[in-house]
Amino acid sequence: MDFLFTPEAISSLLTLTFLEIILGIDNIVFISIIVGKLPEDKRKGATNLGLLLALVLRIALLFAISWLIAMQTTLFQVSTTVLQVAVNGQSLILIAGGLFLLYKSTKEIHEKIDHAGEKSAKAQNNASNTIGKILIQIILIDAVFSVDSILTAVGMTSGINGALWIMIIAVVVSILAMMWFAHPVTRFVHKHPSLQILALSFLILIGFMLIAEGAHLAHLEVLGTSIGAIPKGYLYFAIAFSLLVEFFNMRFRKKKVTF
C-alpha cells in the first residue's frame, strides 16, 4: 500500500475527494427534497439509507470498471442529413436520469405551489406506503449520479498507480462527509420553503446538464453542430451565486420582521 503515500497519489486523493463531495451535492439536494414527504422522525434514517445505497452503488461500479467502460460501445446509431447520433449505455443512463430529474422536480414544484401552506392529510396517512416509493426513487437517482461520479473519478485517476484504491477511499470519505452534513441541510431546506423551490430549480438545471452530457457521450450532432458537455464549474457557480442571493434575502426578511 506504499503507492498510496506518494505525492501524486495523495494529491489525486485529496482532489478527487473534494470533487466527489461537490458532485454529491446533487444527491443530497434530491434526497433532502424526497425524504421531506416522510414524517420527521423517519427522515434521518431514510437519508442515511439513501447515502449508504449511493456508497454501495459507487463501490460496485468501481469494481465493475470494465463493464462500465464497455457501456461506451455503440448500441445503435442514426445518421441522417439532420441528425447524427451513436447511442451507448452510458448516454442512455444519463439521459434517462436527466429526464427523471426534470419530471420529478417539475412535479414537486407544482405540488408545493398548489398546496402552499397546506398539510396533506393523505400524505400523512400513507407515510408508511410512501417510504418504499421514496427508496425506489433514491435508488434510481443514486444509480445515475453514481455513473456520472465514477466516470469523473476514472478520468482523473487514469494512469496513476493504485487508481482503484484511490477512487474507493475518495468515494467512502466523500459519502461519510455527505452523511455528516446531509441532516443539517435537510432540516434547513425544509425550514425555509423558498429554499425548497430554489433547490428544485437546481435539480432542473442538473437534469438538463445530465441530458446534455448524455447527448455529448452519444456524439449527438444536429445540422452539423455537435452537442458539448456543460462544464460543471459553470453550473455550481450559478448554484452558489443563487444561494448567496437567497441567504441575503433571508437575512433581509429576518431583520424586517425584527423591526
Tally of domains within the chain: 1
Which pLDDT does position 125 carry in this prediction? 46
Question: pLDDT at position 141, please?
Answer: 80
172-184: per-residue pLDDT in tens? 888 888 888 777 7
In this prediction, residue 3 has a pLDDT band, given cuts at 50, 70 and 90, of low
pLDDT at position 183: 78
Predicted confidence at residue 157, as pLDDT, reads 67
Cα(25)–Cα(110) distance, integer angstroms: 23
State the number of CA atoms in the 13 A half-sphere of 64 facing the CB.
Answer: 12
Q: How many CB atoms lie within 10 A of CB 182?
A: 24
Q: 119: helix, coil or strand?
A: coil
Q: Say whether 84 sits in a helix, a strand or coil.
A: strand
Task: Assign 73 to helix, strand or coil.
Answer: coil
126: its cell numbers: 400513507
pLDDT of 66 higher than 70: no
Length of the chain (residues): 259
Instruction: Show the domain range for 41.
Output: 2-258
**pLDDT score of 40:** 75
d(CA 59, CA 142): 12
Q: Of all residues in the chain, what percent carry a pLDDT higher than 70?
A: 85
Asked whether the predicted pLDDT for residue 163 surpasses 80, the reply is no
Say what the alpha-carbon torsion angle 174, 176, 178, 184 is, to the nearest 10 degrees: -160
> Which segments within the chain are labelled E, that is strand?
74-79, 83-88, 221-222, 225-226
| CB-CB contact of 171 with 58 (8 Å) | yes
Q: Is the pLDDT of residue 117 over 60?
A: no
Hey, is 245 helix, strand or coil? helix
Contacts 24+ apart (CB under 8 A), 240-244: 242/198, 242/201, 242/202, 243/198
Question: Is 57:143 a contact under the CB 8 Å cutoff?
Answer: yes
- State residue 4's pLDDT score: 63
pTM of the model: 0.72
